[in-house]
């Protein structure tokens, strides 16, 4: 009998339940006696280890459990009884294994809790990183749209189109440093004298609206914009005219490209 045989054949459990043959029990006891380190490592009660560490009396056929049919062994046990109870040993073994199972469940629970905590920490870290990136983008946008005094004046003549354009009709690029954009629109056609200009960002956000602009003596509508008031992007400009009733009607469109 060796370690592998003891493990594969569940010899310890069968020994405790009295299911071993006389020969198997004797070989198991002899192996424990010859291998004290192995005996001490077994998950069995201490008193049973003490029993198995003793050399059996002469003529003894097998071990300590009455379930193993050996009258001579029982006689020896009765003469040398030191309070060892096989049933108590089995019950202690069951309690020990039950405690081990509870400890295993506790360890698994703690491991799962640790894993969940680690996953939560990773998710929190990713959220913090994403929030930091969003804050940086917002700060960059704020810096890019912060109003600055224009360093120069640039004049542009713009032509309106009849339909809403899908791309810039006046591509200015990103103006750096800030400039005052002096834009004039040809308004020679028609008799409209007053105009309304509405500027929306390409995502639909209203930027500004200028009302009641008179055309000048050259029949042009002129307005000025600080380039630093706009962030990078395209801006849709809607030009409307006031009729004699004070109502507005669309005159034309244009799109400013600032990027």
Q: What is the pLDDT of residue 30?
A: 85
Q: Is the peptide bond before 64 cis (omega within 30 degrees of 0)?
A: no
State pLDDT tens for residues 164-221: 998 999 998 888 888 899 999 988 877 889 999 999 998 889 999 999 999 998 889 9
Q: What is the pLDDT of residue 222?
A: 93
Kindly report the pTM of this predicted structure: 0.45
The DSSP secondary structure of the chain, one letter per residue, reads: --HHHHHHTTHHHHHHHT-S-HHHHHHHHHHHHH-HHHHHHSSS-HHHHHHHTSPPPTT--S-S-TTS--HHHHHHHHHT--S--HHHHHHHHHHHHHHHHHHHHHHHHHHHHHHHHHHHHHHHHHHHHHHHHHHHHHHHHHHHT-----SEEEEEEE--BSS--SS-SEE----SS-EEEEEEEE--SSS--EEEEEEEETTS-EEEEEEEEEP-TTSEEEEEEEGGGS-SEEEEEEEEEE-TTS-EEEEEEEEEEE-
Distance of alpha carbon 213 from alpha carbon 224, whole angstroms: 12
List Cα–Cα distances, 119 to 23, 90, 109, 124, 126, in angstroms.
Answer: 55, 43, 15, 9, 11
What is 152-258's CATH number? 2.60.40.10
Q: What is the pLDDT of residue 81?
A: 45
**Own/partner pairs for 135-143, CB < 8 Å, 24+ apart?**
141/231
Q: What is the pLDDT of residue 259?
A: 81
Tokens 């002096």 sit on residue: 182
Tokens 């309690």 sit on residue: 95
- Residue 22 exposed, middle or buried by CB count within 10 Å (0-12, 13-18, 19+): middle
Q: What is the pLDDT of residue 164?
A: 92
pLDDT tens for the chain, residues 1 to 259: 788 888 888 888 887 777 778 888 888 888 888 888 887 887 777 777 777 777 665 555 554 444 444 433 443 344 444 455 556 655 666 665 555 555 677 888 888 888 899 888 889 888 888 888 888 877 666 655 567 888 889 999 998 999 999 899 999 888 888 889 999 998 887 788 999 999 999 888 999 999 999 999 888 999 999 988 888 899 999 999 999 888 999 999 999 998 8
For the chain, which residues make up each domain, given as ranges? 3-84, 152-258
């Amino acid at each position: 009998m060796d370690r592998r045989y003891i493990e594969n054949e569940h010899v310890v459990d069968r020994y405790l339940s009295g299911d071993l043959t006389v020969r198997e029990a004797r070989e198991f006891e002899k192996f424990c006696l010859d291998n004290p380190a192995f005996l001490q490592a077994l998950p069995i009660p201490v008193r049973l280890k003490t029993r198995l560490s003793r050399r059996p009396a002469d003529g003894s056929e097998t071990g300590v459990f009455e379930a193993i049919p050996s009258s001579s062994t029982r006689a020896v046990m009765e003469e040398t009884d030191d309070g060892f109870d096989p049933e108590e040993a089995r019950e202690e073994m069951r309690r020990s294994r039950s405690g081990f199972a509870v400890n295993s469940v506790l360890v698994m629970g703690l491991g799962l809790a640790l894993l969940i905590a680690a996953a939560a920490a990773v998710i929190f870290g990713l959220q913090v990183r994403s929030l930091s990136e969003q804050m940086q983008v917002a700060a960059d946008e704020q810096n890019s749209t912060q109003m600055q005094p224009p360093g120069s004046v640039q004049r542009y003549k713009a032509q309106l189109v009849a339909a809403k354009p899908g791309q810039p009709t006046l591509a200015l690029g990103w103006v750096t440093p800030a400039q005052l954009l002096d834009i004039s629109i040809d308004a020679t056609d028609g008799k409209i004298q007053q105009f309304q200009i509405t500027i929306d960002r390409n995502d639909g956000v209203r930027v500004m609206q200028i009302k009641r602009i008179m055309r000048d003596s050259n029949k042009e509508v002129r307005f000025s914009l600080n380039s630093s008031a706009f962030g990078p992007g395209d801006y849709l400009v809607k030009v409307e005219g006031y009729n004699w009733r004070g109502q507005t009607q669309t005159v034309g469109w244009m799109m400013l490209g600032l990027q």
